[in-house]
Amino acid sequence: MFLVDDLVIFIGKKINELIERETSDASVIKERLMELQMKFEMGEIEEEEYDKKEEELLEMLEKIRSEK
């Protein structure tokens, strides 16, 4: 039982690290912006969804830049 608990805790920590890196690394945010742009240009997402996600990503990028 302890092995399962340790595994769950380990996985939780790794997920948290990944989320933190994804939201605090400017290069990751820029990559997500490029992916978003490609999806929009290929017609995979609507303009409204694109605008909303772009705004969120740009805000994250600005926050990262202002913390440096």
In the chain, where the domains are located: 24-68
CB burial of residue 33 (10 Å; 0-12, 13-18, 19+): middle
The per-residue pLDDT for 51 is 97
**What pLDDT tens digit does each residue of the chain (68 aa) get?**
677 788 888 888 888 787 777 667 888 889 999 999 999 999 999 999 999 999 999 998 898 888 76
